[in-house]
Structure 1
Amino acid sequence: MDDKVNVTFILIDGYVELHKYRYLYFVMMLTVYILIMCCNSTIVYLIWNHQNLHKPMYIFIAALLINSVLFSTVNYPKLLIDFLSERQIISYSACLFQYFAYYSLTASEFLLLAAMSYDRYVSICKPLQYQTIMTKTNVNVLLFVAWLVPACQVAVPVVLSSPKKLCAFTLKGIMCNSTFQTLHCVKSTVLNVYGLVILVIVVISPTIFILFTYTRIFIITYRNSREVRRKAAQTCLPHLIVLINFSCLSVYDVLLLRMGTEFPKIVRFIMTLQILIYHPLFNPIIYGLKMKEIYKHLKSLFSKMC
């Protein structure tokens, strides 16, 4: 690539044996993408189509699944194109957009999980006040905040990074995550500090809040009957499983990469694929099988199709 091209485009150098397995990668990821779209869309359709699912808990689940669809739609088409291309490149502007969408949607996931935990907390710990607290207006506000706040916060480093000069043009990864900042000629202390502030606001704080609410729920339900404890576990356990899974992958992506830890190429590749595959595909399976009302409608839908 000549200098003129290098100024505009970034080489993506995170794939492993792409020349050898390109068609295998393509078929696998296309299959996963179709499954993600179908599974998430099916659960969202069921929630939208059935009146008894028009409750805050299910609305937040639908929002979480829509978030997974958006996340996958931002990342998968580019991956599929790269698998079949001779050169894996991306323009700097497209890289900035992918960075923005990747982190704003990831942060929204944590805020949506926090909103879900708050809904469960009010439902179980303050049942008499539930109808007055979790109104349609309040639910809409929580959804609006969950998507708008991360988008505004992530937009700041994107705007600040756009005029920066690049001194490196090879990205050690398969997508534009936090590692793209290593391409800048001068590392920005302001961006690093701001990134940590965002991390505290939209990741660490919601996680602490979620753990606090579920701890309160388990303490209160422990004093009640076995049936109450069973119902609480039935609704809260899927949320906790999703949170633990997502938090572990996010710790790798945000903290370890920002600390500059060097990983073998194959490890980076596998971990990034897990972020792209595991969570968007994991959510609908967890909520579809573990949430009793959704599972009932899902079972009915498939029985009609068969």
Structure 2
Amino acid sequence: MSNLSLSYVVLGAYVSVGNLRYLFFLLVALLYGAVLFVNTSLILVICVNRALHQPMYLFLVSLFVNELYGSSGLFPLLLVHILSESHAVPAPLCFLQIFVIYTYGHVEFCSLALMSYDRYLAICRPLQYRRQMTPGKVLVLVLVLWTYSFLKVLVTVSLNLRLRFCGNVVSLYCHNYLVARLACSGNRVNDVYGLCGTVLAVLVPLAPIVFSYARILRVCSGGSRQTRQKAVSTCCPHLVSLLNFSCGGCFEILQSRFDMSHVPAALRGVLSLYFLVIQPLLNPLLYGMQVSKVRHIYRDTLSCKAMAGH
């Protein structure tokens, strides 16, 4: 294949598994349903309860919306191709999937960075917290991080559309790096922007994360037992989420950029999909179970609905 632009992309990682594909379809559908349910229900609980209209919970709403957004960029197409005999994806749909998945990743990391700074203010500057982190400021920060992520990935996808392609086979889903490797020859503008974009995507969110936790650790080391307990209870869900997303991102980089032919295909698929599948399910469960105020209001809301049903 050698043309000026892609007409379709073939997802080459799908293998024929006979009737087991119906079992895989059911499992993936249940997983997607669980992601939709837990994220949507927690968004509704936070939105309808004024007691949760605080900066921390507004950041959580943005995070849960992003989980729904990213999951919808993967699961529907994944379900279609599990049952389909043909694994060709029209090029516009492929580039749309790239756009959604990459903006999801950017928004996720930036959201975790903002939440780390929010935790720093709450623990290290509790008296100034309400003045420095108002709901209005939170909304502005969330709007900025979504706009920044959309524009950054839009430029990336637009640059790829200009490439001349000599192949059309990728893995389980449309991945920007793998699609760019299909180009007949390198493009200096794409290479420079890709390198700069990767550095910015890592360093911009990483800076406030490192700063915030360095200050939190400093305060905890010289603080009281109560201060340390507060820091652990408020930071634990965020740290678990951050570590899980970082590990998932590393798995995805390993399987897409290095020769993993010696690794079983099933394991390569898990490494490829990990951060897109586990993170959207982990975050709402993690925060719903660990943040006491959310957990209690969520339980009370469900109890009221159950009583109303009777």
Deviation of the 1:298 alpha carbon: 2.0
Provide the residue aligned with 1:269 in structure 2: 269
Provide the residue aligned with 2:105 in structure 1: 106
**TM-score, with length taken from structure 1:** 0.92
Check whether the contact 1:14–1:268 (CA below 8 A) recurs between aligned residues: no
Residues 74 and 258 (structure 1), Cα distance of their counterparts in 2 relative to 1, 3 Å cut:
closer
Provide the residue aligned with 1:294 in structure 2: 294
Identical positions, percent: 32
Deviation of the 1:219 alpha carbon: 1.8
Deviation of the 1:40 alpha carbon: 0.6
The 2-side partners of 1:82 and 1:199 are apart by: 30
Aligned-residue CA RMSD (Å): 2.1
Q: Which amino acid aligns with 1:215?
A: A
User: For structure 1, which segment, 264-273 or 242-251, has the greater mean C-alpha deviation from structure 2 after superposition?
Assistant: 264-273
Deviation of the 1:257 alpha carbon: 5.1
Deviation of the 1:121 alpha carbon: 1.0
Check whether the contact 2:255–2:268 (CA below 8 A) recurs between aligned residues: no
Residues 25 and 50 (structure 1), Cα distance of their counterparts in 2 relative to 1, 3 Å cut:
same
**TM-score, with length taken from structure 2:** 0.90
Task: Note the 1:1-306 alignment, pairs <5 A.
Answer: 8-254=7-253, 256=254, 259-263=257-261, 264=263, 265-304=265-304, 305=306
User: For structure 1, which segment, 17-26 or 55-64, has the greater mean C-alpha deviation from structure 2 after superposition?
Assistant: 17-26
Deviation of the 1:7 alpha carbon: 5.0
Deviation of the 1:170 alpha carbon: 1.3
Deviation of the 1:203 alpha carbon: 2.4
Q: Which amino acid aligns with 1:70?
A: Y
Deviation of the 1:76 alpha carbon: 0.9
Q: Which amino acid aligns with 1:262?
A: M
Deviation of the 1:3 alpha carbon: 9.1
The 1-side partners of 2:143 and 2:79 are apart by: 31
Unaligned runs of 5+ in 1: none
Residues 260 and 147 (structure 1), Cα distance of their counterparts in 2 relative to 1, 3 Å cut:
same
Deviation of the 1:299 alpha carbon: 2.2
